[in-house]
Amino acid sequence: MEVTMVTIEQKVLLFSKLIDQLMNTQFKEGLTNLEEEYSGKLEKNKKDTDLEVKKIINSANKKRDLEISRAYSSLKINEKREYMLAKEKCFNKLMDRLKAHIDEFIKSDIYKDYLLKLVNEFSLEKKHMNNITMYVTDNDYNKYFDIFNKALKDLGYNDDDYKIAVTKDKIIGGFVVEDNIEKLRIDLSIKSLLDDNKPYIMQILFEALEEGGNNE
């Protein structure tokens, strides 16, 4: 049987090839592991990035929605404020026109009949007002003093029971009667009439405005 002798040089060469094969195998395995690890990290990073992007988008959407809601609320508040200002301006214009008509009414002949009706109304409400002062406008004092004087006498007042005076208040027209002893007060002035009916006047005006707006 023939025996083949392996020299040292051959052993070294064989060992070198074995090392090379081993290195190649480890390199490939390492590369595969590296690729798998990198692929996993890449996938995780992609998921993390997508999640972060979604969070940013959601946050941006919420912020946008909040800003839209705030802007809408602000617009509605401004719209309501403008509407209220417009209604107030319309009401003031209406009252100015109404007062202008009242001024014309006070200058007319039928105003005297209106004052006599007020005196009659006072007679129904005066009850035990025995010592009174009737306050009237300066114009009515100069123009209708005799009428007031006669009307009060017809109600049973003696000269010592009453006096007629010019008021310092802006009552527009009509009169105010005060009891000098009991401190009672009956306000039959035109200003009081306007003030008492202001809610009704406003309601009529605003209903007309809203109806007009709905017809546009």
How confident is the model at residue 5, as a pLDDT? Answer: 47
Say whether both 35 and 119 belong to one domain: no
- Is 216 contained in some domain? no
Instruction: Give which of 80, 131, 83, 137 is closest to 106, Cα–Cα.
Output: 137
Final residue before a domain boundary, out of 55, 90, 107: 107
Cα distances (angstroms) measured from residue 99 to each of 54, 72, 91, 95, 194: 66, 40, 12, 6, 9
Say whether both 97 and 113 belong to one domain: no
The values of phi and psi at residue 166, to 5°, are -85, 130
Q: What is the pLDDT of residues 124-183, one digit of tens each?
A: 887 778 899 999 999 999 999 999 999 999 998 999 999 999 999 999 999 999 998 888
Say whether both 40 and 130 belong to one domain: no
**Residue-number span of the structural domain to which 119 is assigned:** 109-199
Six-digit token pair at 5?
């002798």
Say whether both 142 and 189 belong to one domain: yes
Final residue before a domain boundary, out of 77, 107, 137: 107
The values of phi and psi at residue 78, to 5°, are -65, -40
Say whether both 103 and 16 belong to one domain: yes
Instruction: Give which of 201, 48, 64, 179 is closest to 122, Cα–Cα.
Output: 179
Say whether both 30 and 84 belong to one domain: yes
Say whether both 78 and 169 belong to one domain: no
Q: What is the pLDDT of residues 71-103, one digit of tens each?
A: 777 777 877 787 778 777 777 887 888 888 889
- Is 210 contained in some domain? no
Domain count, the chain: 2
How confident is the model at residue 136, as a pLDDT? Answer: 97
Say whether both 163 and 144 belong to one domain: yes
Q: How many CB atoms lie within 10 A of CB 179?
A: 17
Say whether both 60 and 81 belong to one domain: yes
Question: What's the CA gap between 23 and 136, in Å, rounded?
Answer: 122
- Is 214 contained in some domain? no
Q: Read off the DSSP letter of residue 180.
A: T
Say whether both 21 and 37 belong to one domain: yes
Say whether both 63 and 117 belong to one domain: no
